[in-house]
Amino acid sequence: MANTILVGAQWGDEGKGKIIDVLTESADIVVRTQGGNNAGHTVYIGKQKYVLHLIPSGILRPDTQCVIGNGVVIDPIGLVGEIDGLLKMGVKVNGNLFISETAHLVLPYHRELDAQRENLKGKNKIGTTKRGIGPAYGDKAARVGIRVIDLINPARFEPVLKARIKENNEVLKAFGAKPLSFKKVLADYRAAGDRLQPFVTNTVVMLDQACRRGADILFEGAQGTFLDLDHGTYPYVTSSNTTAGGACTGSGVAPNRMDCVVGVMKAYTTRVGEGPLPTENAEISDLLHGMGREFGATTGRARRCGWFDSVATRHATMVNGIDQMAVTNVDGLDTLETIKVCIGYRVGDTKYDYIPNDIEVLVQCEPIWAEFPGWRTPTQDVRSWKKLPVKARSYLNAIAELSGAELAIVSVGPAREETILL
Ligand code: GDP
Ligand code: IMO
Ligand code: MG
């Protein structure tokens, strides 16, 4: 398979977990490189549902090594909970999970500050997952973060935590929020640190050795292109680089070791949280929610839904260098008579074929539509390209051409086998 970076090409929740699970069959190692437990990656094996937040989805295959890279922000208590949840479900974790020494920690004051800042913003809130992601990356950039290597060294962790809690309690008081108890946080985090210690290693050296022996590595992106801190719809974004470059900085694997970029996208568009979504549409939203679909895997919030936006996916091809695309949830469109695709934006007389940087312009963008006839046949049992309805193939070929990448994978259901490899 060679070294493959997998990214979300829309606003997150594209079905990355499912596609990672499929591709992991031919991977030796799966690496998470950014984000934290704001992610929720769903994998079905048979009828059993797994939702991964910090641990790479590759963990569900017993022979795959899984790495949480240096670019991830780790909530140690959340991670211990996730490990225990997997162990209870009979998943092999010991010996398969490796945690970077230099990944930064999410601490309780990050979560509290995330919530306080959202409250303060009122109707301008970002709609974060309230997992403390923004404040944790903020501390990393401000060089006041605490890392895994500190957590597993009790003599170093205690004074550094004390100083950080002292400062953050002043900030929390200014918000009118309750200060944190140093003793309690220390006890909880030390207990989690002891549990995580056996998994902690120098993952940069480990991945370098893997590259040298020719291992196939799959880089599991979290979130999606338009939630990227630099390339997304700022400030309605997350706080990491969700685009392909983040796989290199977040793992220490150099760009010239990467062989392929796979962009995962839904056959339509969704977004959870606030911010512009040019193709948002009530008809498709009602249809999908009515089928019990498109509720967030992490927060349970209803996702906003819209038609496929090829301006966005073409932009995603540009900033990620997407070679191959995986289109998921094709079966979600099975009942429609007509399917719309956005092929450009218009604001007054100005047309755009890329995402404008000015968010005030983006919110004014009116989609320019192309229409495709629906296939009105169930696709969930289809297992080959040839057996897909002709109209579904035409639709998929069209969105691939508009997105500027090669169509490589079509997904017609949440399970492993509900997948067509082209
Ligand atoms: P991720 O964050 O990108 O991994 O995506 P999520 O797991 O948050 O959301 C994707 C949802 O779509 C999950 O409920 C998946 O089980 C589901 N899913 C993925 N691919 C397909 C598909 O082709 N058809 C259907 N019906 N569901 C799918
Ligand atoms: P996966 O990996 C969809 C969104 C939040 C919010 C914004 C900022 O499952 O695709 P944050 O908590 O990161 O500060 O929130 O980003 N968001 C996601 N939306 N899928 C995700 O992850 C997301 N992770 C964060 O809803 O709009
Ligand atoms: Mg998700």
pLDDT at 299: 84
**Residues 227 and 325 occupy one common structural domain:** yes
Question: How far, in Å, from the CA of 367 to the mean position of ligand 1?
Answer: 25
Atom 6 in ligand 2: which residue has the minimum CA distance? 128
Interval 63-92: pLDDT, tens: 999 999 999 999 999 999 999 999 999 999
pLDDT at position 342 is 98
For residues 173 and 317, state if they share a domain: no
Indicate if ligand 2 lies below 6 Å from the C-beta of 78: no
Ligand 1 atom nearest the C-alpha of 41 is 4
306 in contact with ligand 1, CB cutoff 6 A: no
> Which ligand approaches the C-alpha of residue 334 most closely?
1
Question: In terms of domains, do 270 and 387 share one?
Answer: yes
Asked whether the beta carbons of 189 and 78 are under 8 A apart, the reply is no
Measured between alpha carbons, how far is 294 from 289 in angstroms, rounded to an integer? 6
Q: In CATH, what number is assigned to the domain containing residue 142?
A: 1.10.300.10
Same domain as 236, residue 140: no
Give residue 63 CA to ligand 3 midpoint distance, Å.
24
What pLDDT does 21 receive? 96
Which residue among 118, 227, 264, 329 has the greatest number of ligand 2 atoms within 8 angstroms of its CB, and so is best to mutate?
227
Residues 182 and 246 grouped into a single domain: no
Boundaries of domain holding 238? 4-95+203-421
Whether 300 shows a pLDDT value over 90: the answer reads no
Q: How confident is the model at residue 201 (pLDDT cuts 50, 70, 90)?
A: very high
Which pLDDT score, from 0 to 100, does residue 233 have?
97
DSSP summary character for residue 183: H
If we measure between CA atoms, which residue out of 360, 366, 357, 369 comes closest to residue 402?
369
Residue among 132, 134, 156 at smallest CA distance from 146: 156
Pairwise CA distance, residues 278 & 307, whole Å: 9
Query: Of the residues 169, 199, 229, which one is the last residue of a structural domain?
Result: 199
CATH code of the domain covering residue 22: 3.40.440.10
Overall average pLDDT of the 248-266 stretch: 98
The answer on pLDDT for 302 being more than 80 is yes
Phi, psi of 219 (to 5 degrees): -100, 115
Q: Is the distance from the beta carbon of residue 297 to the nearest atom of ligand 1 less than 6 Å?
A: yes
Query: Is residue 297 very low, low, confident or very high in pLDDT (cuts 50, 70, 90)?
Result: confident
What atom of ligand 1 comes closest to residue 411's alpha carbon?
23
Confidence of residue 53 (pLDDT cuts 50, 70, 90): very high
pLDDT band at 298 (very low <50, low <70, confident <90, very high): confident
Q: Are 90 and 109 within one domain?
A: no
Domain boundary among 174, 199, 224: 199
| Residue 253 and residue 182 share a domain | no
Q: Are residues 281 and 160 in the same domain?
A: no
pLDDT tens figures, 93-145: 999 999 999 999 999 999 999 999 999 999 999 999 999 999 999 999 999 99
Residues classed as catalytic: 13, 41
Query: Within this chain, do residues 168 and 272 fall inside the same structural domain, yes or no?
Result: no
Q: Indicate if the pLDDT at residue 296 is higher than 90.
A: no
- Report the separation in Å between the CA atom of 37 and the middle of ligand 3, taken as the mean of its atom positions: 10
Q: Is there a single domain that holds both residue 172 and residue 56? A: no
Where on the phi/psi map is residue 293: left (φ > 0), alpha (ψ -120 to 50), or beta? Answer: beta
Instruction: Evaluate: CB of 411 within 6 angstroms of ligand 1.
Output: yes
Compute CA distances 405 → 199, 269, 297, whole Å: 38, 17, 28
* Phi, psi of 411, deg, nearest 5: -115, 130
Question: Quick one: which atom of ligand 2 is closest to the CA of 299?
Answer: 26
Is residue 205's pLDDT more than 90? yes
With a 6 Å cutoff on the Cβ, whether 331 touches ligand 1 is: yes
Same domain membership, residue 209 and residue 193: no
pLDDT at 402 exceeding the cut of 90: yes
**47 vs 107, residue with greater confidence:** 107
Residues around ligand 3, an ion, CB closer than 5 A: 13, 40, 297
Return the beta strands (E) in 221-335 as ranges.
260-266, 269-271, 304-306, 308-309, 324-328
In terms of DSSP bridges, do strands 48-52 and 41-45 run parallel, antiparallel, or are they unpaired?
antiparallel
- Confirm or reject: Cβ of 18 under 6 Å from ligand 1: yes
Sequence letter at residue 212: R
Q: Cβ–Cβ contacts within 10 Å for residue 422, how many?
A: 13
Instruction: Specify whether 213 is located in the same domain as 305.
Output: yes
Q: Of all residues in the chain, what percent carry a pLDDT higher than 70?
A: 100
Residue where one domain finishes, among candidates 199, 232, 267: 199
pLDDT of 1 strictly over 80: no
Specify which residues 320 forms β-bridges with: none
Alpha helices in 241-322 (DSSP H): 245-249, 282-290, 310-320
What pLDDT, on the 0 to 100 scale, is given for residue 151?
A: 98
C-beta 57 within 6 A of ligand 1: no
- Pair 294, 266: CB distance under 8 Å: no
CA-closest residue to ligand 1 atom 16? 414
Q: Residue 223: CB within 6 Å of ligand 2?
A: yes
Residue 133 makes CB contacts below 8 A (sequence gap 6+) with 35, 36, 38, 73, 106, 110, 114, 238, 239, 240
161 CA from centroid of ligand 1 (Å): 38
**CB–CB of 412/418 below 8 Å?**
yes
Identify whether the C-beta of residue 67 lies closer than 8 Å to the C-beta of residue 29.
yes
Q: Is 209 exposed, middle or buried (0-12, 13-18, 19+ CB in 10 A)?
A: exposed
Is the distance from CB of 349 to CB of 272 less than 8 angstroms? no
Across the chain, what does the average pLDDT equal?
97
pTM across the whole model: 0.97
Cα gap 312→251, rounded to integer Å = 26
Question: What residues contact residue 223 under an 8 Å CB cut-off, 6+ apart?
Answer: 8, 12, 34, 35, 38, 39, 238, 240, 242
Residue 30: the pLDDT is: 98
d(CA 92, CA 88): 10
Q: Separation of 168 CA from ligand 3 center, angstroms?
A: 30
Residue-level pLDDT at 290: 93
Residue identifier of the C-alpha nearest atom 9 of ligand 1:
13
Count of domains in the chain?
Answer: 2
Tokens 């205690």 — which residue? 158
Please work out whether the CB of residue 263 comes within 6 Å of at least one atom of ligand 1.
no
Spatial distance between the Cα atoms of 109 and 57, rounded to a whole number of angstroms: 28
CA angle 1, 51, 96 (to 5 degrees): 50
